Chains A and B, each alone.
Chain A
Amino acid sequence: MIVTYNWLKEFVDFEANPDELAALLTMLGLEVESMEKLGDGLDDVVVALVEEKRQHPNADKLSLCRVNNGTEVLDVVCGAQNFKQGDTVVLAQTGAILPGDFKIKRSKIRGEESCGMLCSDKELGLAEESAGIIVLTPGIAPLGTPVFTALGLKDTIFEIGLTPNRSDCLSLIGIARDIAAKLDIKINYPSISLVEGPEKTDAVIGVTIKDPELCPRYAARYISGCTISPSPQWLVKRLAAIGIRSINNVVDVTNLIMMELGQPLHAFDCLRLSGKRIVVRAAEEGETFTTLDNQQRTLTAADLVICDAERPVALAGVMGGLNSEIEASTTSILLESAFFKPAAIRKTAKRHGLHTESSHRFERGIDIDGVVRALDRAASLIVELAGGVLAEEAIDQYPGKIERTPITFRPEKANELIGIDLDRNVILDILSRLECQITQNNDGSAGVLPPSYRIDIEREIDLIEEIARLNGYDKIPATMPVARVVSDRPTRHQEIEKQLRNLLVNCGMTEVINFSFTAPDAAGKLLLSDSDPRRFAIKLANPLVDEQSVMKTTLLPGLLETTARNINFRSMDLKLFEIRRVYLPREGEDMPREPLCIVGAVTGSRDGDGWSRPNEPVDFFDVKGIVESLLDFLDVGGISWVTDNLDPYYHPGKSCRILAGRDCIGSVGELHPSVQKNFALEKPVFCFELDFEKLVKLSRTKKTIGAPSRFPDSSRDIAMLVPEELAAVKITDCIKAVKSKEVEQVQIFDVYRGKGVPDGFKSIAVRIRYRSIERTLAEEEIVALHKEIVTNLVDKLQVTLR
Chain B
Amino acid sequence: MREQLEQLKSGALQAIAASSSVEALQDIRINLLGRKGELTALMKGLGTLDAAERPVVGQLVNSVRDEIESALVSALESAQQNVIAARLQTERIDTSLPGRRAQKGTKHPVSLVIEEICSIFAGLGFSVAEGPEIEHDWYNFEALNFPPEHPARDMQDTFFVENSLLLRTHTSPVQIRTMLKQKPPVRIIAPGTVYRCDSDATHSPMFHQIEGLMVDSKVTFGDLKGILTVFTNQLFGQKTGVRLRPSYFPFTEPSAEVDIACVICGGKGCRVCKNSGWLEILGAGMVDPEVYRHVQYDAENISGFAFGMGIERIAMLKYGISDMRLLFENDVRFLRQF
Q: Which residues of B contact A33 (CB under 8 A)?
A: 274
Of A461, A516, A609, which one neighbours B100 at CB under 8 angstroms?
A: A609
Q: What's the nearest-Cβ distance from chain B to residue A325, in Å? A: 28
Does A494 lie within 8 Å of B132, measured CB to CB? no
A417 and B161 contact, Cβ closer than 8 Å, known pairs A461-B289, A501-B107, A513-B110: no
User: Which of A10-18, A422-430, A464-472, A633-641 is the interface stretch?
Assistant: A464-472
Q: Are A486 and B105 in contact (CB under 8 A)?
A: no
B330 x A513 contact (CB < 8 A): yes
Contact partners of B248 in chain A: CB under 8 A: 29, 163-166
- From B134, B221, B222, A594 is in contact (CB under 8 Å) with B134
Does B246 contact A548, Cβ atoms closer than 8 Å?
no
For B182, give the chain A residue with the smallest CB separation.
Answer: A486
Cα–Cα distance between A165 and B251 once the two chains are bound (Å) = 12
A292 within 8 A of B: no
Cβ contact within 8 Å between B222 and A583: no
Q: Is B32 an interface residue (CB 8 A)?
A: no
| Distance between B289 CB and nearest chain A CB, rounded to angstroms | 6
In chain B, what residue has the closest Cβ to A466? B254
Contact among B149, B206, B227 with A515 in the assembled complex (CB-CB below 8 Å): B206
Within 8 A of B (CB), among A556-588: 562, 565-566, 569, 571, 573-576, 580-581, 583
Query: Does chain A have a CB within 8 A of B2?
Result: no
Q: Find chain B residues with CB under 8 A from A571 CB.
A: 331-333
Interface positions of B from 241 to 272, Cβ below 8 Å from A: 243-248, 253-257
Partner of A487, one of B122, B134, B161, B218: B122
How far is the CB of B113 from the nearest CB of chain A, in Å?
Answer: 12
A542 to B230, CA, bound (A): 41
Chain A CB within 8 A of B4 CB:
no
Decide: A542 and B107 in contact? CB cutoff 8 A. no
| Closest beta carbon of chain B to A617's beta carbon, Å | 15
Within 8 A of B (CB), among A461-513: 461-462, 464-465, 468-469, 473-474, 476-491, 493-494, 498, 501, 504-513
CB distance from A417 to the nearest CB of B (A): 6
Q: Between A and B, how many residue pairs show CB distances below 8 Å?
A: 237
Q: How far is the CA of A769 from the CA of B335 in the complex (A)?
A: 44
The interface residues of chain B, by DSSP majority, are classed as: mixed
Q: Which of B133, B222, B229, B336 has the most CB of A within 10 A?
A: B222
Interface residue? A514 (CB, 8 A): yes
User: B115, B159, B333: which contacts A542 (Cβ < 8 A)?
Assistant: B159
Contacts of B45 in A (CB 8 A): none
Q: Does chain B have a CB within 8 A of A106?
A: no
Q: Is the CB of A511 within 8 A of B107?
A: yes
Of the candidate stretches B12-20, B53-61, B76-84, B162-170, the one touching chain A is B162-170
Q: How far is the CA of A538 from the CA of B195 in the complex (A)?
A: 15
Docked-complex contact A515 and B328, CB < 8 angstroms? yes
* Docked-complex contact A479 and B222, CB < 8 angstroms: yes
On chain B, the residues within 8 Å of A566 by CB distance are 330-332
Residues of B within 8 A of A514 (CB): 328, 330
A490-B122 in contact given A166-B248, A478-B222, A479-B226 (Cβ < 8 Å):
yes
**Is A420 within 8 A of B222, CB to CB?**
yes
- Expressed in whole angstroms, the Cα–Cα distance for A672 and B329 within the complex equals 25
- Do the beta carbons of B218 and A541 come within 8 Å of each other? no
- Contact for B254 among A343, A469, A516, A611, CB less than 8 A: A469
**With A419-B222, A476-B222, A490-B128 in contact, do A612 and B288 touch (Cβ < 8 Å)?**
no
Q: How many residues of B contact A (CB 8 A)?
A: 84
Instruction: Tell me, yes or no, whether A26 is within 8 Å of chain B by CB.
Output: yes
> Which single residue of chain B is at the shortest CB-CB distance from A515?
B206
A486 and B127 form a contact (CB under 8 A): yes
B100 partner residues in chain A, CB cutoff 8 A? 609, 612-613
Contact A487 B97, beta carbon cutoff 8 Å:
no
Measured CA separation A464–B255 after assembly (Å): 11
Complex CA–CA separation, A31 to B259 (angstroms): 12
Interface residues of A in 515-545 (CB under 8 A from B): 515-517, 538-544
Query: A418, B197: Cβ atoms under 8 Å?
Result: no
- Which chain B positions have C-beta within 8 A of A488? 127
Q: Report the separation of the CA atoms of residues A549 and B107 in the bound assembly, to the nearest whole angstrom.
A: 27
* Chain A residue nearest in CB terms to B248: A163
A478 & B226 in contact (Cβ 8 Å cutoff): yes
List, in ascending order, chain B residues with CB within 8 A of A574's CB. 332
B222 touches A477 (CB 8 A): yes
B26 contacts A by Cβ under 8 Å = no
For residue A607, CB closer than 8 A to chain B, the reply is yes
CB distance from B232 to the nearest CB of A (A): 11
A468-B205 in contact (CB<8A): no
Q: Which residue of chain B has the shortest Cβ distance to A364 in the bound complex?
A: B151
Which residues in A have their C-beta under 8 angstroms from that of B205?
A: 515, 517, 544, 548
Which residues of chain A have C-beta atoms less than 8 A from B255's C-beta? 465
Cβ–Cβ contact B225 & A512, under 8 A? no
Point out the residues of chain B lying under 8 angstroms from A504, CB to CB.
105
Contact check: which of A165, A486, A498, A540 meets B115 at CB < 8 Å?
Answer: A498
State whether A481 touches B159 (Cβ < 8 A): no
Q: Which of the residues A461, A508, A594 comes within 8 Å of B103, measured between beta carbons?
A: A508
A510 touches B105 (CB 8 A): yes
Instruction: Name the distance in Å between A638's Cβ and chain B's nearest Cβ.
Output: 28
Q: What are the residues of chain B within 8 A of A364 when measuring CB–CB?
A: 151
Contact with B along A401-427 (1 / 0, CB 8 A): 000000000000000111110000000
Contact A481 B105 (CB under 8 A): no
Least CB separation from B114: chain A residue: A498
User: Which residue of B is nearest A164, CB measured?
Assistant: B151
- Which of B35-43, B64-72, B185-193, B316-324 is near enough to bind chain A? B185-193
Contact A607 B102 (CB under 8 A): yes
Q: Which residues of chain A are within 8 angstroms of B181 by Cβ–Cβ distance?
A: none
**Which of A501, A516, A544, A613 meets B193, CB within 8 Å?**
A516
CB–CB A594/B132 < 8 A: yes
Q: Quick one: which of A135-171 are within 8 Å of B by CB?
A: 163-166
A167 closest partner in B (C-beta): B151
The reply to whether A479 and B223 contact each other, CB–CB distance below 8 Å, is yes
Q: Is A454 an interface residue (CB 8 A)?
A: no
**CB neighbours of A580 from chain B (8 A):** 193
Query: Which residues of chain A in 585-609 are interfacial with respect to chain B, using CB atoms and an 8 Å cutoff?
Result: 590-592, 594, 607, 609
Given A473-B245, A483-B219, is A164 in contact with B154 using a C-beta cutoff of 8 Å? Answer: yes
Interface string of A320-345 (1 = CB under 8 A from B): 00000000000000000000001100
Residue A27 lies at the interface, judged by CB distance under 8 Å to chain B: yes
Interchain CB contact (< 8 A) of B214 among A416, A481, A538, A543: A481
Within 8 A of B (CB), among A333-385: 342-343, 346-347, 363-364
Taking A461-B253, A480-B226, A539-B161 as contacts, is the C-beta distance between A418 and B149 under 8 angstroms? no
State the Cβ distance, A460 to closest chain B Cβ, in Å: 9
A299 within 8 A of B: no
What is the distance, in angstroms, from B54's C-beta to the closest C-beta of chain A?
49
* A34 on the B face (CB < 8 A): yes
The answer to whether A484 touches B111 (Cβ under 8 A) is: no
Output the nearest chain B residue to A469 by Cβ-Cβ distance: B246
Q: How far is the CB of A569 from chain B (nearest CB, A)?
A: 6
Cross-chain contact B199 with A164 (CB below 8 angstroms): no
A484 to B187, CA, bound (A): 10
Confirm or deny: B155 has a beta carbon within 8 angstroms of a beta carbon on chain A: yes
Q: Whole-angstrom distance from the CB of A362 to the nearest CB of chain B?
A: 11
Q: Provided the pairs A364-B151, A513-B327 are in contact, do residues A486 and B186 lie with their beta carbons within 8 angstroms? A: yes
A607 to B105, CA, bound (A): 12
Q: Give min CB distance, B214 to chain A, whole Å.
A: 7
- The answer to whether the Cβ of A710 comes within 8 Å of any Cβ in the partner chain is no
A27 to B254, CA, bound (A): 13
**CA gap between A328 and B134 in the complex, in Å:** 56
Query: Top 7 nearest A-B pairs by Cβ distance?
Result: A419-B222, A29-B246, A419-B220, A163-B248, A508-B103, A505-B105, A465-B254
- Name 7 extra pairs, CB < 8 A, besides A461-B253, A461-B286, A494-B128: A464-B253, A486-B187, A489-B127, A541-B160, A544-B197, A594-B134, A612-B97
Can you give 13 A-B contacts (C-beta < 8 A)? A28-B246, A33-B274, A420-B222, A461-B289, A476-B244, A481-B220, A487-B122, A511-B105, A515-B206, A517-B206, A544-B199, A580-B193, A611-B98
